[in-house]
Amino acid sequence: MANTPQARKRIRRNANRAIVNGARVSRIRTFIKQLESALAAGDKDTARTALQRVQPELARGVAKGVVHKNTAARKLSRLTKRVVALG
């Protein structure tokens, strides 16, 4: 257990940040799942709009530090390639 006031505060702060960051990652995953379901259905228009909604969410995740820059770039690249392949 933490012995100093600073360490106790850090434990409290880490717990709060974990909740917020978990919500952010969950939100990103939700948008990606919506895009993947549109891709699975073969719906071009829905997939394009879903991709446009995923893009800023991933960028926000990078800015907030919950997703690594290269991870977001890789995911966005692969999703974009799949949307373009629809036609």
Name the residue ranges covered by the structural domains of the chain.
5-85
pLDDT tier for residue 15 given thresholds of 50, 70 and 90: very high
pLDDT tier for residue 2 given thresholds of 50, 70 and 90: confident
pLDDT tier for residue 87 given thresholds of 50, 70 and 90: confident
Which tens digit of pLDDT belongs to each residue from 17-74?
A: 999 999 999 999 999 999 999 999 999 999 999 999 999 999 999 999 999 999 999 9
28 near 58, Cβ under 8 Å? yes
Q: What DSSP line would sit under 38-83, residue for residue?
A: HHHHT-HHHHHHHHHHHHHHHHHHHHHTSS-HHHHHHHHHHHHHHH
Three-class SS state of 87 = coil
So what's the architecture of 5-85 in CATH?
Up-down Bundle (1.20)
pTM for the whole thing?
0.87
